[in-house]
Amino acid sequence: MIFSASQDIWRFQFHPEVWIIILGGFLLALYAIKVVGPNAVKQGEPVYTRKNQVAFIAAMFTLWFASDWPMHDISEEYLYSVHMLQHLIISLIVPPLLLLAFPRWLAELLVSPSGRTSKWVNQLSRPVVAGFIYNFVIIVTHLPFAVNYSIENGPFHYFIHLAVFVSSLWMWIPVMSPVPGLRKSLPAQMVYLFLMSVIPTVPAGFLTFAGGALYDAYDHSVRLWGIDITTDQQLAGLVMKLIGGIYLWIWIGTRFFQWSRRNSPEMVLVESNSSTELIQEENN
């Protein structure tokens, strides 16, 4: 199939499906905190916190930014490197923000400890399973046949985005789950995130060192900012490896400092009548 792109690169395109999703998210959140929440939390306890609110608004804004014009149109018609950036936002930024936005009571309602849901969630949120599913989806969705077909087939295109989002949300559960029982220890989180940063090296290297055009959907004469197809693919590989890798290493660094603070002794000042003494007190 011969792919082509509009010469009018910056033409505005309205995507009603994106606004429906964003509006639906806000309506569901409003229903949860106004109708479900007051009956689910103990009297005197907050239904949601400021942190939940800020995280949810940030998640919805970031999802809109990655899914609407102009990023959506540039990523699907002109530059695969922007497509890669779009996928990184959907997989590495939006999911942890959404999990941070979930109040604990709401997450526990969705994952009933006594029901079948809890069993499935516990099995699928194991780091080995969640990590495998995420990386499998990421690798498959960057294969040439999947990319080319998603450009020409609307339903498959939305399926790809849904698969990336859901698998990414699951990937973050061992790190950011609102339910403490589903979160792993800080050392386990660091190892897990390290592996998540290593495995994408394979498709990233494939893109960076490819000699010719891998994706026919982006191999056309309309070049945004004069970026040719080979350079575009190399930029996509760098975005996947460097930006994605650095982002995950920032998460690893924050987890390391949290773990260090929890396991390092504190210096506590103890006043005595004669002098001030420093004693070591283990902070467990």
pLDDT at 276 over 50: no
Average pLDDT of the residues in 1-14? 71
Residue 271's pLDDT band, with cuts at 50, 70 and 90, is very low
Model-level pTM? 0.87
pLDDT for the residue 279? 38
SS (H, E, C) the chain: CCCCCCCCCCCCCCCHHHHHHHHHHHHHHHHHHHHHHHHHCCCCCCCCCHHHHHHHHHHHHHHHHHHCCCHHHHHHHCCHHHHHHHHHHHHHHHHHHHHHHCCHHHHHHHCCCCCHHHHHHHHHCCHHHHHHHHHHHHHHHCCHHHHHHHHHCHHHHHHHHHHHHHHHHHHHHHHHCCCHHHCCCHHHHHHHHHHHHHCCHHHHHHHHCCCCCCCHHHCCCCCHHHCCHHHHHHHHHHHHHHHHHHHHHHHHHHHHHHHHHHHCCEEEEEECCCCEEEEEECCC
pLDDT for the residue 265? 62
245 by Cβ neighbours in 10 Å (0-12 / 13-18 / 19+) ranks as middle
Contacts of 99 (CB under 8 A, 6+ apart): 169, 172, 173, 176, 177, 178
Q: Mean pLDDT check: name the lowest of 66-70, 116-120, 201-205.
A: 116-120
pLDDT for the residue 115? 59
Contacts of 178 (CB under 8 A, 6+ apart): 99, 100, 102, 103, 104, 106, 107, 108
Q: 36-59, pLDDT tens digit by residue?
A: 999 999 888 999 999 999 999 999
Q: CA–CA separation, 42 vs 40, rounded Å?
A: 7
Of the candidates 157, 145, 32, the one whose C-alpha atom is nearest the C-alpha of residue 98 is: 32
pLDDT for the residue 123? 87
pLDDT at 174 over 70: yes
Residue pair 67/15 in contact by the 8 Å Cβ criterion: yes
Give percent above pLDDT 90 in the chain.
67
Mean pLDDT (the chain) is 88
Q: 73-117, pLDDT tens digit by residue?
A: 999 989 999 999 999 999 999 999 999 999 999 998 888 655 567
pLDDT at 283 over 90: no
pLDDT at 241 over 70: yes
Q: Where are the domains of the chain?
A: 16-281
Contacts of 54 (CB under 8 A, 6+ apart): none
